[in-house]
Amino acid sequence: MNRNDPRRIAYQLLAAVEFDDAYANLLLPRLLADAGVTGRDAAFTQELAYGTIRWQLFYDEAIEMAAGRHLDDIDRDALIVIRIGAHQLLGMRTAVHAALSETVDLAKDVLPARLTGFVNAVLRRISERTRDDWMQKVLAGLNDEVDRFAIRYSHPVWVVRALKQALKLDGREADLEALLIADNEPAKVSLVALPGLLDRKDLLAQEGSLVPGEASPLGLVLESGDPGRLHDVADGSARVQDQGSQLMALALAAAPIDASLADNSWADICAGPGGKAALLAALSIKAEAHLFCNEVSQHRTKLVRNALSPVRQAGANVQIETGDGRALGKTAAEKFDRIMLDAPCSGLGALRRRPEARWRRSSRDIAGLTTLQQELLEAAYAALKPGGVVAYVTCSPHPSETTAVVDWAIKRIAGIELLDANAVLHSVNPALQLNTERKTAQLWPHVNGTDAMFIALLKKPAQKKDAR
């Protein structure tokens, strides 16, 4: 099997995700480029790899039954190969004989000879049933809705429970199945035309495969092709960015602050990898504001520098530093008019684009993330000028990472004001479907066509004037 075979590349990706905690969306482009794979073969490779990751829970249940043994008793490399074969048999239109023969050839190429026969035998048993037949067999005996949905849509049970609770808080409890379906549909490539560098209308006129985004007024959707081939993406005046992320930056820029503030000092205190920071920097040019960007690691700081380079060349006044955002409450006390806090989170809102995220976290991780989110929010608020606004943002709808953190801040910090984020987002795009009965805002893939981004706009009370 040659090095540029889609199945071999898919195996390399899945092994890196399994054993090295690699990010599929970051690694796959490099693997494809190294192998010189483009066009249909690249699309096939992506569907093979991403689909295998998305449907892992369902496939593992079927594999256990077909193999007659527990997953822990199956060699991990062999399991990856079997998953790749199972996706071809149960999730793609690949002919059975091709799926079997090509996957067995992959097994011969990457596994010890003693495992090839086992892989062949398991895949042949899987091929004896249709996807629907396997689904019925796997679901047999499961009566709880959450348990059934977990298998049917291949999400961990704890994630399904968390999403159900988040939907209920947003008045959308009946949407659980629709959300899970949306999580398993690959997201289309969204772009942002950075204001001051590029007008969206100009890019639309140049590229026929682009259509206007429905969620963000700056957004575009690439219906086909590689965004990297677009000149405006290559020169940095347009970027690949989910429209939900675009809306978070636009909401912070549009949020009402005290009229006495100069509104010329902005910050992004968890700026990596730099997408929201680049948009904020572009917006800061017209506002004549200085943008301070902070990242905790040198590697992610480098990503921010790269992302902001075109905007700085266009005139953005930007400062980029490496440091712990939790220290800014002391080192930059009451310094900023507007602060973006895109807090580290579970990433459960981006399962369409990061299929491995559902398997990378566990419910035990949430408590540690929540503590970090609270500490960062407290520091961001301390770094905020009186009358200024901090946007607390997560790419997760998990209640513990969203409304619970906001409730904690309101109880802990005297005088803090929760602004109506839905009203601000409606000022950015009046067509957005939002729950106007709440002040925090939650976006959803199945409703808004974006990642499930959460935002709360928190304002520090302005200093009272001397009454003398």
Give catalytic status of residue 345 as yes or no: no
Q: What is the CA angle 138-179-43, rounded to 5?
A: 80
CA nearest 11: which of 64, 65, 84?
84
Q: Which position among 270, 293, 345, 395 bears the catalytic label?
A: 395
The pair of structure tokens assigned to 219 is 């957004």
- DSSP assignment string, 23-87: -HHHHHHHHHHHHT--HHHHHHHHHHHHHHHHTHHHHHHHHHHHHTS-GGGS-HHHHHHHHHHHH
In sequence order, which ranges of 264-402 are alpha helices (DSSP H)?
275-287, 298-313, 328-331, 357-360, 365-382
Contacts of 345 (CB under 8 A, 6+ apart): 369, 373, 394, 395, 396, 398, 401
C-alpha–C-alpha distance, residues 454 and 169, integer Å: 13
Q: Parallel, antiparallel, or unpaired: how do β-strands 336-342 and 384-394 relate?
A: parallel
Tell whether the torsion through CA atoms of 185, 186, 189 and 195 is positive or negative: positive
| 75 HSE (CA, 13 A, CB side) | 15
Contacts of 374 (CB under 8 A, 6+ apart): 405, 408, 409
Q: What is the CA angle 69-72-77, rounded to 5?
A: 100
Q: 340 by DSSP, 3-state: which?
A: strand
C-beta separation of 458 from 406 below 8 A? yes
The pair of structure tokens assigned to 12 is 């390399």
C-alpha–C-alpha distance, residues 92 and 47, integer Å: 9
Given the structure tokens 């690699």, which residue do they identify? 22
Q: What is the DSSP letter of 288?
A: T
CA nearest 193: which of 185, 184, 204, 182?
204
C-alpha–C-alpha distance, residues 394 and 451, integer Å: 10
Annotated catalytic residues are 395
